[in-house]
Structure 1
């Protein structure tokens, strides 16, 4: 009776745990806007037509420009905003610097969360990221080196925040509601770690997909790109950082007030909900901590297939997220407002394809229409092949405004089909070590983001037209290499070194 009672209870969307998921969703949304804000602001921050000045920046004076041009709409008046002489190579380094910070926190953040508590880690990370966002315009006036340093520390802060979330859900989310709660929270974001507590129990035959670009991340990117262009045109690009940095500070107050590490200590939780959560978690299987079999992992080709898939996937995804506003502005020759709106459209497709892909994968598995490994390889193929085809086609349709936008929308949308492929394959081959392996996988993805951002800046600095073509051709080649390797060596069976072993005493 006791063992069955937790599973009979359906999700109560008015409960405190779903309220916490909404707050966490807002926190993730805020951090995404702070991360992507530079992608839209840099269009106004860098003006290649301005001549360099000794102080690293020249200044636009919209008021003087409007007085000399009375026909200019008054709504385009904004404050004096610096314009910097940053080359495309420099911009690539700036864009990639935040990934350096995230890599630095992949390992220590989980350890620190166990010492200080996930609530403190996530709240501190959000607060630091928000304060650094506020200081970004001032740092830009002091020089590009300080901007790179601030972006690196911002990556470290966000890495701490995202890693700590799953530690909270390990104590708040009943096993049968984990996918719903993490989906609402947007915790499966593409820069996050996955904790071992969120590995699906071995008694379940089908793990629940963990999205690489969930609704929270996709909506955050959509919102900042859409609204950022309007803010930059109306008030000036510094206000993009001021507004979203201030929103993050307000979110911190809400976070430290409402969030608790454990439902047992929350002062506002009902006795009924507390009993349900505690009893549900008490019935999940657990195993003692054991040493990680590093040597076996290094020799495991199915793991390397997952790592190469992550590397390939993140290569193109990082370019799209980072350089999409710049590409639309330079190739389609639109202003910053329209560039922001157009750049936001692909993230609607990304969110939709994430949901539809997960539902389709679950349908194929629940009806036993395809084997698990077939589903993994099918969705991996679609998620790497389709965006590659769209990327290769982009340089040849640059003269067509509508066709270019359609292809740009399809790239992140189809790319997110990988969420039901190799992205969650670690739960199939080694569920006991899902936390460690997901961290390694995301490390490969972050390295790909650093290399691709820097390489893109270098290529487009040579020549804009041929540079963008080489960027997309190189991305397609990386995707195809990753796909071939995964199709060759990918598996879905639990590896021998990851199986539970029963110790017997003689």
Structure 2
């Protein structure tokens, strides 16, 4: 039997059949592998990291700025009457809240009720849903750099128009936010399509988790920074800063980044050959025709979709409702609220980066197969956070315990970044961008439904209502972990193989 390009010389036939990720031959790796530090592929990961930090800054800025944009003085008494008194209220909380709500002279505020605010905050997802799959499909065919860069640039330019659209009316702001979501929807599928051509199989986890961790870092920075800018300069400055940062990043992106190693003007021949030879034919663009029917009936793909939906249920529950929980139940003042709401994202960012390095190390040393690595990291990243969410439900009025368990849950959740969240590139590298578009489309559904369910379960603002919220999130997350352990795989699917690979398999 001749050695197939991209297979490890030390792997067994059984391993190659179960996890046919194109791994480098050891002898070739020693000759052609290039240092990871300061390589073009690592520079690409850094550019993506800051790009997704900007993306999440553009996404969450309205959530914080809304507090300053709305004139809520008329509703304050009714709001206070609805807040749970089961937990003691610190005497300084009301004073801090009143001071934080003061607005700079000349900054407009709007009489939007809670329903209007909810509509505006959810407008982003209406646009976000529609461009995931088309973005992944087009990125896989044409290359992802134009779509990732264009998505961030377009969203940044629209963000600069936010103060004007708010002045024109809520309907204009709703339309603007929907367009922002429409533009941002292509970014993550484009990232996956680019890594399918740039990431050597033994470096996938660390490169992809580091670049994707920019989203958690962006949320961690944006939440307190947006509150500080609102308090110091007024809420319009938030959108000018965020939009300007996005435009500046796009300039560097289009100058420094190429779709694939073959077209990069500054990559060394050694690094180019290493990447191209390690990825093999799976690093080539797919054609206009894609195996849609095979994808729809592929259990490994559904083994990615279902756990991501389950994981996102907890994620979007915390993203949209954690500040409300900290205010209504734990009675943190606004400044404490913004800082503590950001803390779980810091933990998730750090642990996701570490998980990527650990996962690649296990594969490099051939200690575990791709399938086993993905299942272990997914189980840790979904099931153990579920246990922490259960504990949050039992924390009662203890702010210290609640924040500790929530932060631990987000930290452990970072492990899934090296598990199910990059599994698309394992089962179908050529179609990874489109598969991420499909899984992200389904994964956005909890972003629409979770806030509605939370609002229904916590309408009386009681500790018991929030306990049910955390228990539900825990149960959904645990189900996703078990589902993936049963049905997940790291094997390249038959419908994703190139003609050359299929023909080579027939000869062996």
For the criterion TM > 0.5, the same-fold answer is yes
Residue by residue over 1:427-453, the C-alpha shift from the partner in whole angstroms, topping out at 9 and shown as x without a partner, is: 454555444333322222112222223
State whether structure 2 residue 154 is matched by structure 1 residue 154: no
Alignment of 1:280-319 (within 5 A): 280-283=274-277, 284-286=279-281, 289=286, 292-319=290-317
Corresponding residue for residue 486 of structure 1: 484
The aligned counterpart of 2:133 is 107
Q: Secondary structure at the match of 1:50?
A: helix
For residues 159 and 311 of structure 1, the distance between their equivalents in structure 2, rounded to whole angstroms, comes to 16
Supply the distance in 2 between the matched residues of 1:119 and 1:492 (Cα, whole angstroms): 26
The question of 1:452 aligning with 2:450 is answered yes
1:85 to 105, 112, 122: 112
Deviations 1:461-501 (A, max 9, x none): 45465543333233223223333433443344455555642
The whole-number CA distance in structure 1 between the counterparts of 2:468 and 2:101 is 39
- SS of equivalent residue, structure 2 residue 109: strand
Q: Are 1:279 and 2:273 matched, yes or no? A: yes
Distance 1:92 1:168 in 2: 35
Q: Which residue of 1 aligns with 2:190?
A: 164
1:97–1:450 CA contact under 8 A, matched in 2: no
Taking structure 1 as the reference length, the TM-score comes to: 0.76
- Identify which range, 415-424 or 26-35, moves more after superposition: 415-424
Quote how far apart the aligned CAs of 1:154 are. Answer: 0.7
Superposition map of 1:39-78 within 5 A: 39-46=63-70, 49-51=73-75, 78=104
Change (3 A) 1:388 1:83: farther
Q: How much has 1:274 moved relative to structure 2? A: 3.7
| Aligned twin of 2:247 | 249
Q: How many corresponding residue pairs?
A: 453
Offset at residue 240 of structure 1 (A)? 1.9
Distance 2:29 2:362 in 1: 29
Paired residue for 1:208?
none
Say if 2:206 and 2:353, in contact at 8 Å, map to a contact too.
Answer: no
Partners in 2 of 1:356 and 1:396 — Cα distance? 29
- Separation of aligned partners in 2, 1:73 and 1:327: 21
2:466: which partner in 1? 468
SS in 2 for 1:104: coil
CA shift in 2, pair 1:250/1:358, >3 Å: closer
Once residues 175 and 489 of structure 1 are traced to their aligned partners in structure 2, the CA distance between those partners, rounded to angstroms, is 22
The answer for the alignment partner of 1:60 in structure 2 is none
Residue matched to 1:326: 324
- C-alpha contact (below 8 Å) 1:433/1:498 kept by paired residues: yes
The structure showing larger relative contact order (alpha-carbon pairs under 8 Å, at least 6 residues apart) is 2
Instruction: Quote the residue 1:389 is aligned against.
Output: 387
Instruction: Give the structure 2 partner of residue 125 of structure 1.
Output: 151
Partner of 1:436: 434
Name the Cα RMSD after superposition.
Answer: 3.8
Q: Work out the CA distance in 2 between the residues paired with 1:95 and 1:9.
A: 47
Q: In the alignment, which of 339, 357, 381 is matched to residue 341 of structure 1?
A: 339
- In structure 2, what is the Cα distance between the partners aligned to 1:466 and 1:317? 20
1:182 is displaced (CA, Å) by: 4.3
Contact 2:53 2:217 in 1 (8 A): yes
Q: Is the 8 A contact 2:189 2:436 kept in 1?
A: no
Aligned to 2:503: 502
Contact 1:134 / 1:245 at 8 angstroms: preserved in 2?
Answer: yes
1:319-363 per-position Cα deviation (integer Å, ceiling 9, x unaligned): 222333333233332333222111111112102221333344455
Structure 2: unaligned runs, 5 residues or longer: 1-26, 77-94
CA distance in structure 2 between the aligned counterparts of 1:367 and 1:274, rounded to whole angstroms: 26
Q: Call closer, same or farther: CA 1:7–1:348 in 2, change over 3 Å.
A: farther
CA contact (8 A) 1:377 1:421 kept: yes
Are 1:357 and 2:355 an aligned pair?
A: yes
1:306–1:425: 8 Å Cα contact kept in structure 2? yes
Is this contact kept in 1: 2:190–2:433, CA < 8 A?
A: no
Supply the distance in 2 between the matched residues of 1:436 and 1:304 (Cα, whole angstroms): 14
CA contact (8 A) 1:309 1:483 kept: yes
Residue 223 of structure 1: CA displacement? 0.6
Aligned in 2, Cα 1:465/1:236: closer, same or farther, shift over 3 Å?
A: farther
**Distance in 1, Cα, partners of 2:394 & 2:217:** 30
SS at match of 2:502: coil
- The residue that corresponds to 2:16 in the other structure is none
Contact (CA 8 Å) 1:318, 1:452: kept in 2 or not? yes
The equivalent residue for 2:216 is 218
Post-superposition CA distance 1:13-72 (Å, at most 9, x none)? 4455544543443222211111121232233345654249xxxxxxxxxxxxxxxx9xx9
User: CA offsets, 1:63-96, max 9 Å, x none?
Assistant: xxxxxx9xx9999772434154332x55444333
Sort the Cα spacing of 1:10 and 1:483 in 2 relative to 1 into closer, same or farther, 3 A.
closer
Alpha-carbon shift at residue 243 of structure 1 (Å): 1.7
Distance 1:172 1:498 in 2: 18
- For residues 426 and 255 of structure 2, the distance between their equivalents in structure 1, rounded to whole angstroms, comes to 38
